[in-house]
Structure 1
């Protein structure tokens, strides 16, 4: 208490000046409409700026939740689309014909390699979220890879940029198919091999997933034809495909569960072992 009194006595002149200044400003504002309007406008401007900055900070910290909500909603919409007979524009996801065959999950890439010969990704979802081995992984632009292993809360994905992970692919306009592989050289390109010379194709044609896959729905975009070669040993096409995905920058992805995958595998395995063939 004594310190407060000492402070007031020591700064009495300054405090008196500030008090009188405040009284004079108040009287001026109250007695003159111009000064009053200027004061109100200035107060509104200051408070408006302050509220705007506070709101911007709140929105910034809320972006992560908004992104997760949007990804979850996209997963729900993709599930509807994958189970509806329809097609959409080139470069977007093409919808399969079979009703209720597919379930779509959403996850985020938290680790991504793309400079090795055998590249993997890690997702922030696992078996507790319904993810299982051999599920397809895609983004809004196309194929990403296949789930390799899961724990309760995480999953690893074999990237399409993997020299030992061939996928079934086809030329969209001709339906001729081959194997999608990666030569380990450029993260922006994969190769479609074993395509017969009878296939009609040209630079710029779209490459999509084929119907022979147990894992991917048919017609998921992969990329566009960039260059075409003939392999002398097999006399078949080797096609350099520029990926739609930027595999060096992946955020949210979608995991596709084919509910009839196991049934198809069992049937085809039994057919191949049939002794009457």
Structure 2
């Protein structure tokens, strides 16, 4: 203790200078938007680089898990191709150039994944330099992950499906009844489906998918299966617990979805309002 006190006394002028210098930088950043934006950008670049380095190490020790996941995805895709090839083709679409896919998919790697908080975020190793923008959907081969909330040049921050501020429009796969998918902040494997009317044929084990009503996710992206449900007698709506297909505690690679018609659709919506 005596050595610490002697050290503080000996270098009190230097320490006072460093403290005042740091304080002046802090106030400069807080009072000038230009300096503040530059500081945030530099901080994002630094933390993004650190998370990327740490994730590279973690990824090395999880290669077997990622390979198994890719093998399973390839198996599903091959089965899907065989299923489509076995069906009679509609001659209307024999010219593949006449059909334009409204969605574009980009692959990205998760370098930070939160799931233990009430409002969780995911950091990706792709950003605006890779044409990723806000409001792009994020999925894996198993289901919905979240929505891009913010981007820098090289990284993207995704608001996770495990975030109490996020709501995703989904539906029952066996019917057109739809509702809002939210999270109550408790179990990272279970999310809640609300606003489904009592007339809907809700059954345990039924599959939940995206309904395509938003501009972010196309219809048919898997979400999970119904674990249990109850009917709110006062509101005539179900509250449903959904077991996610994704293991949100173990996400390696994702696909970022761009709706190529989003700008045009948003313009029409704004004109209508």
- TM-score bucket of the superposed structures, by smaller chain: 0.5 to 0.7
The reply to whether residue 261 of structure 1 matches residue 266 of structure 2 is no
- 2:22 aligns with none
**For each residue in 1:59-88, what CA deviation from the matched residue of structure 2 results, as whole angstroms up to 9, or x when unmatched?**
xx8x98xx89x98xx9xxx9xx9xxxx79x
- 1:145 aligns with 146
TM-score (norm 2): 0.64
Check conservation: 1:105, 1:130, Cα contact below 8 A.
no
SS at match of 1:175: coil
What root-mean-square deviation, in Å, do the aligned CA atoms of Structure 1 and Structure 2 show?
2.6
Unaligned runs of 5+ in 1: 1-60, 88-97
Unaligned runs of 5+ in 2: 1-59, 86-98
SS at match of 1:158: strand
TM-score (norm 1): 0.63
- Measured after TM superposition, the shift of residue 211 of structure 1 is 2.1
- 1:169 aligns with 170
- Measured after TM superposition, the shift of residue 267 of structure 1 is 1.7
**For each residue in 1:30-89, what CA deviation from the matched residue of structure 2 results, as whole angstroms up to 9, or x when unmatched?**
xxxxxxxxxxxxxxxxxxxxxxxxxxxxxxx8x98xx89x98xx9xxx9xx9xxxx79xx
**Cα separation, partners in 2 of 1:201 and 1:108, compared to 1, 3 Å:** same
The reply to whether residue 249 of structure 1 matches residue 261 of structure 2 is no
Question: For residues 100 and 174 of structure 2, what CA distance do their matches in structure 1 show?
Answer: 24
Larger deviation, residues 224-233 vs 246-255 = 224-233
SS at match of 2:267: helix
Question: For residues 181 and 232 of structure 1, what CA distance do their matches in structure 2 show?
Answer: 20
Question: For residues 162 and 230 of structure 1, what CA distance do their matches in structure 2 show?
Answer: 24
- Measured after TM superposition, the shift of residue 172 of structure 1 is 0.6
- Measured after TM superposition, the shift of residue 182 of structure 1 is 0.3
SS at match of 1:265: helix
The reply to whether residue 196 of structure 1 matches residue 202 of structure 2 is no
- 2:208 aligns with 207
4+ residue stretches of structure 1 with deviation over 4 A? Answer: none
Check conservation: 1:174, 1:201, Cα contact below 8 A.
no
